[in-house]
Amino acid sequence: MKIKSYPTLRTIRMVERTLERNSKTPISVASLKKKLPKKVNHNTLVQILEYLEESRKISVSLKGIRWIHNAKGI
């Protein structure tokens, strides 16, 4: 997949905050899109989720996406 543009820091932080607020149970991509305060292009969201998974901030499983990063413990 050729990347046409990269997500902005503002968009990444918006997704992070939404996942943090919904960290008690796994959330699907469709549910995440509905909970975001602004619309995000699907490909952009996939890029952000890949980045968050690589940086070990989220866990992705068949049940959904779950926030696992604990910044307060650092």
Helices (H) and strands (E) in the chain, counts: 3, 2
Structure-model confidence comparison of residues 21 and 4, the more confident one? 21
What pLDDT score was predicted for residue 70?
82
Q: What is the average pLDDT value for the chain, to the nearest integer?
A: 91
Tell me the whole-structure pTM to 2 decimals. 0.88
Query: For residue 65, is pLDDT > 60?
Result: yes
* Res 41: pLDDT: 94
Q: What pLDDT, on the 0 to 100 scale, is given for residue 1? A: 58
- The CATH fold assigned to 9-69 is Arc Repressor Mutant, subunit A (1.10.10)
73 contact partners, CB below 8 Å, separation of at least 6 = none
User: Structural domain boundaries of the chain?
Assistant: 9-69
